[in-house]
């Protein structure tokens, strides 16, 4: 028993912290393994593009100063990119930070938040920490067109008079599933206007060609809509922690009341602003991911592992049996993927796309692990 647990806020008692993908350094310490590849955290295998790298290098001489607390330059570029007003942009220390800001702003004991089964693990953590009650909507069946994805009817059925926030990732992590334009439009129209809809689009750049809509198109029509994005995925800036929300100015005003000052670093502001201009790097990233998804699905199928279509930069591999032992065997071969038992998926592993060489090594290691693990 934690000696100070009785002093903690009720929502914090019993809260299990978010468990990130295992760092290569940790695997080396624990098992002495070297030559490690990490395909666990949906990072961009190309890393930052040349424009972001140059901006990052140029910012180092200024790190003795505080960053612009309002992030004016980056916010201006984001606003211009999406065709919104500057007052609609809220910066976060990654989009994870923005999700927590939304929970802090709109959730408290006595109210509810809704999200789907198998949704991003930060949603239940943020909801529980706020003291609010979670209403989890059942996911779609595993054998459907969007296996284990969001069920709009179930989400709407979970909304009640005490609901304040609906969290919705599109595409969803870890399933890779998505709602198309018609489904998302119908859902947004049906949600009561007093419920804040948080549309988490962390993987939007990868969704080209899948029929995944750009949620920012509905901001004018639905003042209760908040769209979150990140520079951690397709832009390759995961280590710098930069994300943002687009919302009605009145929602943004409330978020900025609880947003911590200087929550985005000076190097992060500089690199993110430059990354927005690097279309060539983004196109190369998306192309590499598209080929990687196809290769992983094809290679996994050949060794008897199912992986449904994904609009993200990862696949959800269904082993058809408990995945823990297979994951352990992969670690001993220096391959880090993501167990998703905490998402209610104990038979699955989430595999991020890597370089062509990394994808081939993963497939070989997976085949060897399945052959040796009882």
State the span(s) of the chain assigned CATH 3.90.1150.10. Answer: 16-47+280-372
Tens-of-pLDDT digits for all 374 residues of the chain?
788 888 888 888 888 888 788 899 999 999 999 999 999 999 999 999 999 999 999 999 999 999 999 999 999 999 999 999 999 999 999 999 999 999 999 999 999 999 999 999 999 999 999 999 999 999 999 988 999 999 999 999 999 999 999 999 999 999 999 999 999 999 999 999 999 999 999 999 999 889 999 999 999 999 999 999 999 999 999 999 999 999 999 999 999 999 999 999 999 999 999 999 999 999 999 999 999 999 999 999 999 999 999 999 999 999 999 999 999 999 999 999 999 999 999 999 999 999 999 999 999 999 999 999 98
What is the CATH T-level fold of the domain 16-47+280-372, as seen in this structure?
Answer: 3.90.1150
Q: Say how far apart CA 188 and CA 113 lie, in whole Å.
A: 16
pLDDT value at residue 13: 85
DSSP-H helix ranges across 178-278: 181-190, 249-258, 266-275
The CA angle 206-209-214, to the nearest 5 degrees, is: 65
What is the CATH T-level fold of the domain 50-275, as seen in this structure?
Answer: 3.40.640
Q: In terms of Cα–Cα distance, which of 118, 285, 300 is closest to 203?
A: 285
pLDDT value at residue 327: 97
Please write the tens of the pLDDT for every residue from 312-361. 999 999 999 999 999 999 999 999 999 999 999 999 999 999 999 999 99
DSSP-H helix ranges across the chain: 24-31, 50-59, 72-82, 95-106, 122-130, 152-158, 181-190, 249-258, 266-275, 279-302, 324-332, 356-372
Buried b or exposed e, range 258-279, using 16+ CB within 10 angstroms: ebeeebbbbbbbbbbbbbbebe
State the span(s) of the chain assigned CATH 3.40.640.10. Answer: 50-275
Q: Say how far apart CA 345 and CA 125 lie, in whole Å.
A: 18
């Amino acid at each position: 028993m934690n000696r100070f647990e009785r002093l903690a806020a009720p929502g914090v008692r019993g809260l299990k912290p978010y468990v990130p993908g295992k760092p290569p350094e940790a695997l080396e310490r624990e098992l002495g393994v070297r030559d490690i590849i990490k395909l666990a955290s949906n990072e961009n295998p190309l890393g930052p593009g040349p424009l972001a790298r140059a901006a990052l290098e140029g910012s180092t001489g200024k790190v003795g100063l505080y960053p612009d607390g309002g992030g004016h330059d980056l916010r201006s570029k984001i606003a211009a990119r999406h065709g919104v007003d500057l007052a609609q942009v809220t910066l976060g220390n990654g989009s994870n930070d923005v999700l927590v800001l939304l929970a802090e702003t709109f959730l408290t004991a006595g109210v509810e938040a809704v999200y789907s089964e198998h949704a991003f693990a930060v949603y239940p953590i943020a909801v529980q920490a706020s003291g609010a009650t979670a209403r989890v909507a059942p996911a779609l069946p595993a054998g459907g067109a969007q296996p284990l994805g969001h069920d709009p009817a179930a989400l709407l059925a979970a909304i009640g008079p005490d609901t304040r926030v609906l969290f919705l990732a599109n595409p969803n992590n870890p399933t890779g599933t998505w709602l198309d334009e018609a489904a998302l439009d119908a859902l947004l129209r049906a949600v009561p206007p007093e419920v804040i809809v948080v549309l988490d689009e962390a993987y939007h750049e990868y969704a080209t060609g899948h029929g995944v809509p750009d949620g920012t198109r509905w901001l004018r029509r639905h003042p209760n809509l908040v769209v979150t994005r990140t520079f951690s995925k397709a832009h390759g800036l995961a280590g710098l922690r930069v994300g943002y929300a687009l919302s009605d100015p009145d929602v943004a005003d409330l978020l900025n009341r609880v947003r911590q000052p200087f929550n985005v670093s000076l190097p992060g502001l500089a690199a993110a602003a430059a990354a927005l201009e690097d279309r060539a790097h983004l196109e190369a990233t998306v192309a590499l991911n598209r080929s990687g998804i196809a290769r992983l699905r094809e290679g996994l199928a050949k060794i008897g592992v199912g992986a449904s279509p994904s609009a993200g930069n990862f696949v959800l591999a269904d082993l058809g049996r408990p995945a823990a032992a297979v994951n352990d065997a992969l670690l001993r071969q220096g391959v880090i993927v993501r167990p998703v038992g905490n998402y209610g998926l104990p038979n699955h592993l989430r595999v991020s796309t890597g370089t062509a060489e990394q994808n081939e090594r993963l497939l070989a290691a997976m085949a060897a692990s399945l052959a040796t693990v009882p």
